[in-house]
A and B are shown apart, each in its own frame.
Chain A
Amino acid sequence: MIRKLAMTTVASMALTSTAAMADVVIADVAELSGAGAAAGAVWHDGVKMAVEEINAAGGILGEKIDLKEYDSQTDPQNSRAMVQKAIDDGAYVLLGTVYSSSTVVNMLVAQQNGVPQITGSESPTITAKGNPYIFRTAFGAQKGLPKLVSYLKDGIGAKKIAVVWANTEFGKGGYDAFMKIAAEQGLEIVADVPTEQAQVDFASDVAKVKGSGADAIFVYLTEEESARFLIEADKQGVELPLAGDTVLVSQKVIDLAGGAANGAFGHVGLSAEAPVDAIKEMAGKFQAKYGYGADHNAIKGYIGAYVIKYVTEQIGEFNQEKFAETMHGLCLDAATHPGVLMDVCWDDTGEMSRESFLVEVVDNAQQISKTLPAN
């Protein structure tokens, strides 16, 4: 058995080590299966579309991109193996993952091997670790949420807030950031409701926030859970303002909630409905190509792939160390770098900043009520 195993291992290695010669290898390690497949697969489609465009336009410094995909299976242990493999395959830059638990592991390996990594994760912890090889495609929750808290406080005059959040690594990051900012701004938290991953029944959660005497409800859940919460809140006749981050007011949640999302508002970092022509154009192409609408993860993946092109062309060679160095403190404007879609800057931790939007759901569609400056 073991001999057989060893032989198959050798055989599979021989198969995988035949990387393309002249092309530059870019590795996308994403959640293509498992609990995160909905996010990771869309991100990957965004990456793929950008890479095809770049290759059609001549590649990077005259070299075509050889995009290799690796499935993390939404499992950090497996994700680490995939990053190892991507690096063995000669990856120039790593893209992904969307879930922070895998990104946290991957960036350890990326750092040890000196490979830049461009992640889709929005968890605040990622850029707080002092890792010089990690870069974001969307700013962390700790940057987005202050904008929302200010709006809750000054825009609608809320003083008491009920918080409903997903008790997962995704939700916990947003929750911690929100609680910190809310305390700084003097908001009182009257109900604190953690929910489960893939929770289906939100009756008791809605009843709890409804009876809490809150002026507004902050909802930080993933797509399906957001929709289920909205449906249940609608069912129980909750009339309080519902506020959230990108997910709550995303088109996916609006479609799922079937009318129950109307009136919800949120702060959105990236959105296919943003009043930016470049994004609208990208979203249109995406819809035509894949037959479904782009969301923030698709846009993140698309931008991520283009960033590799622009940064490499700026340094004029394929040099991983210089890549990381150059990207710290770099700003790319959308006028000369159309692939980033909106003006964007990175600081020395890999955190990034960009304009963002306040969105309200009206008639089952996102309506941008305000564009907020980058911070």
Chain B
Amino acid sequence: MSEFIQLLISGLSAGSIYALAAVGFTLLWQASQTINFAQGEFVMVPAFFVLALSVKLGLPIWLAMPLTVILSVLLLGALFKKLIVEPMHKHGTIPLVIATIALGLLIKEMVKEFYSPLGQPFPSLFPQTVLTVGDAVISVPDIANFVIAMGTIVALQLFLGRTRTGRSMQATAQNPDVAQILGVDIQRMVMYTFLINGALAAIASILITPIYLAKFSNGETLGLVAFIAAIVGGFNQIRGALVGGLLIGVIDNMSATYFSAEYRQALPMILLIVIILVRPQGLLGTSEGRTV
């Protein structure tokens, strides 16, 4: 039982960070039909911004981390949209998919070549201590990661639902033509979405890298997880991506123990296929959401 609780908590903790990446993924999809195959690399690379700023340039960590968020918003948000998504939008979805696959490769190779092919230790924001509840050992960083990740998503939900800008962004995502008629600056709204995705990726990266260690290949797993979480949860709902992320996090942790360690990766894949067959709009998705 204590093992179960422990696995559940570490699963939720990892899952909440997956959810950050999945939510960003969903936002991009909603706002601009961008299936971002480089999302994993987007989560991998901010950790290297932190390392470059703190280790190479000698900035203190408390300064390096906010700077990293800003850098990510600029590079992974604004630059990505201006340089890659915008000029390609008129070509349709497939060229953009291909371009993001190539972008993922490019980011990975650049980190490997210009920083290091080896894994790097990464500073943790929280003390590495544990709480003992009954028999279960619960780590403080796990709890803190969960709280920050969930807090970020809740704040995002509030922003989208309660503010004027947020509602305009949602209107743009649901029906750009109507939004435009209603006087929404849809280009600006789409840009905001990309900026938010950059920030989400940076937060996810800073939270997860102390456990994962900074390595150029980390994005491969992360991207796949974000992708599956978004589809399983529902491609057109932030809540869906959240639930999908948490679910994949828990399944990931449980399957090695209760299913099969050798086939641990299979369970999320099977879930993905079953969802597509049985409920293609995802667990929480609504079928009247925009179809392609």
Contact = CB atoms under 8 A, between A and B. Distances in A.
Direct contact of A and B (CB under 8 A): yes
Interface of A: 33, 35, 37-38, 41, 167, 192-196, 198-201, 203-205, 207-208, 211, 223-224, 227-228, 231-232, 234-237, 252, 255-258
A140 to B, nearest CB: 24
B106 interface: no
A200 B222 CA distance: 9
B117 A37 contact: yes
29 contacts: A37-B112, A37-B117, A38-B117, A193-B256, A193-B261, A194-B261, A196-B264, A196-B265, A198-B221, A199-B221, A200-B218, A200-B222, A201-B211, A203-B10, A203-B14, A204-B7, A205-B261, A207-B3, A208-B256, A227-B119, A227-B121, A227-B213, A235-B141, A236-B137, A237-B137, A252-B118, A256-B120, A257-B121, A258-B121
A208 B255 CA distance: 12
Chain B interface, >50% SS class: helix
Contacts of A205: 256, 261
A207 B7 contact: yes
A54 B205 CA distance: 46
Contacts of A223: 118-119
A204 B119 contact: no
Nearest to A167: B262
Contacts of A199: 221
A208 B257 CA distance: 7
Chain A interface, >50% SS class: helix
Contacts of A201: 10, 14, 211-212, 252-253
Interface residues of B, number: 36
Contact of B119 (A195, A211, A224): A224
Contacts of A167: 262
B291 interface: no
Contacts of B215: 224
Nearest to A208: B257
A266 to B, nearest CB: 19
Contacts of A204: 7, 10, 252-257
Nearest to A257: B121
B119 A256 contact: yes
A263 to B, nearest CB: 15
B221 A200 contact: yes
B147 interface: no
B245 to A, nearest CB: 13
Contacts of A258: 121
A205 B254 CA distance: 10
B155 to A, nearest CB: 26
Nearest to A252: B118
B112 A203 contact: no
Given A194-B262, A211-B3, A236-B130, A203 B11 contact: yes
Given A198-B221, A208-B256, A208-B261, 14 more contacts: A35-B217, A193-B256, A196-B265, A201-B14, A201-B253, A203-B6, A208-B257, A223-B118, A227-B121, A228-B212, A231-B211, A235-B141, A236-B139, A257-B121
Contacts of B217: 35, 198
A35 B215 CA distance: 11
A167 B6 CA distance: 24
Contacts of A38: 117-119
